[in-house]
Amino acid sequence: MRQVVWSVIFLAAGLALIRGWRTSSQTIATVDPWIYALLLYIAASVVWSPEPYISFKRAVQVWGVFLVALAVGTEGFSPGQTPRLLRSVVTLLMLLSLILVVVTPGWAITEKGWRGIMQTKNQFGQIAFLSFVLWLYALRVGGPPRYVSWLLIVGSVIVLALTRSYTSIAAFLVVVGLGIAGHARWLVTRSWGATVLAAVLATLTILHFAGVVAGYPSLNDVANSFFDLIGRDVTLAGRTYLWELMWQQFLQHPWLGLGYGGFWIGFEGPSGLIAYKVGWGYPGQAHNGYLDILNELGIVGSALVIGVLSRHALRIFKLFAIDRDAALFHLVILGGALALNVAEASFLRITHPWWIVVMLSIMEVGYLVARIAIAAQGNGIGRSAPGTPVAGPMKRASP
């Protein structure tokens, strides 16, 4: 059923691009060539995959997500368009999850944490984390009433805590850190902000001198104390052993990889042997997206992924020159996705929600930065076509 639904979505995206070709072609023209190189490499890896049929199906799905991201920008992108779209979808998922918590708590609440309508608590944690980011952006740029934004921001943080998804909580802390860094200059200009920063620096200085006098604890001691505090063991629930096994898999085909989507195919083959060794069921992923990419796409494919993400980051910094709020939102999305990918595979994870979010972010930033270049050149492309990148100030999508 899931495959049928996504097939319909991919088909609809393709038809939308064809029907709106006059304007969608302009959006396609702004796509980073590194993305095409990565997608073509994924398609080519079907040739050397041990499971070519499965790899082919999964490669088609990755291309399908790319088409969906393009279709969203059929009429072009404007600042705030992607977060506005995502906000509607994510808020609906949050509301449905809370309804399920009330109606059928036996399903929605597990002994490990809340999972709402999602299959696992980690998935629900990622949705709650994304909800926090989206409503924080809404509060920043305006649109919905401020009390609504605050209510949903606080609600998202509470739900995130109740999921007990430590990966998502870690990503949340990364986002908070990025937000503080992005507003450091603003904080310094406020009397209370300068006081807070001074207090933080003073505290760090005192801790440093205390460490010099009493001796700094070892990294192992710090790690054990931290994981004891959050109720986890230092092996991250067995993930570290799984990572060791996956690294050994990668070393068997380091350059080209095994082939996209050709490893995690069930209890048969190498993935079944991994499941047997870890002893806690079928993982279905390396629980580290970077290891999964290395294993399936090798050093060559990983270099392409790094190229795509690095160029996306550079475009985000270019966007700061014209729309700081939009740029900070996309930087937070990228930072959050990078953090989540450490313990839960999300990059190139077929139709994983966070991979879709990252693709939408890449498409929007690429389009907006292209507008900056066009404005600098003093000319436009297809001035009369709606949604076409043209010179002049960008208007934010209505909330």
pLDDT in tens, 50-80: 999 999 999 999 999 999 999 998 887 887 8
Q: At residue 395, what are phi and psi to the nearest 5 degrees?
A: -100, 135
Q: In sequence order, what DSSP letters do the residues of 350-369 get, joined into one string?
A: TT-HHHHHHHHHHHHHHHHH
Q: For tokens 């009330």, name the residue.
A: 102
pLDDT digits (tens, 9 = 90+) for 103-126: 999 999 998 899 999 988 999 999
Task: Report pLDDT for 150.
Answer: 94
Task: Report pLDDT for 170.
Answer: 85
Reply yes or no on whether the pLDDT at 219 is more than 90. Answer: no
Give the mean pLDDT of 17-39. Answer: 92
pLDDT digits (tens, 9 = 90+) for 329-373: 999 999 999 989 988 888 888 778 899 999 999 999 999 998 888
Query: Are 324 and 140 a contacting pair, CB within 8 Å?
Result: no
Cβ atoms within 10 A of the Cβ of 335, count? 19
Cβ atoms within 10 A of the Cβ of 272, count? 14
Give the mean pLDDT of 195-214. Answer: 62
Per DSSP, what are the bridge partners of residue 113? 110
pLDDT bracket for residue 247 (50, 70, 90): very high
Q: Which two tokens stand for residue 147?
A: 């009390």
Provide the CA 200 distance to its chain's centre, in angstroms: 30
Q: What share of the chain is helix, strand, coil (3-state, %, to 5)?
A: 70, 0, 30
Largest CA distance in the chain: 71
Query: Are 152 and 196 a contacting pair, CB within 8 Å?
Result: no
Per DSSP, what are the bridge partners of residue 114? 109
Give the mean pLDDT of 14-28. Answer: 89
Task: Report pLDDT for 229.
Answer: 44
Q: Which two tokens stand for residue 253?
A: 């085909």
pLDDT digits (tens, 9 = 90+) for 287-333: 999 999 999 999 999 999 999 999 999 999 999 888 888 998 999 99
Q: Tell me how far apart the alpha carbons of residues 339 and 333 are, in angstroms, rounded to a whole number.
A: 10
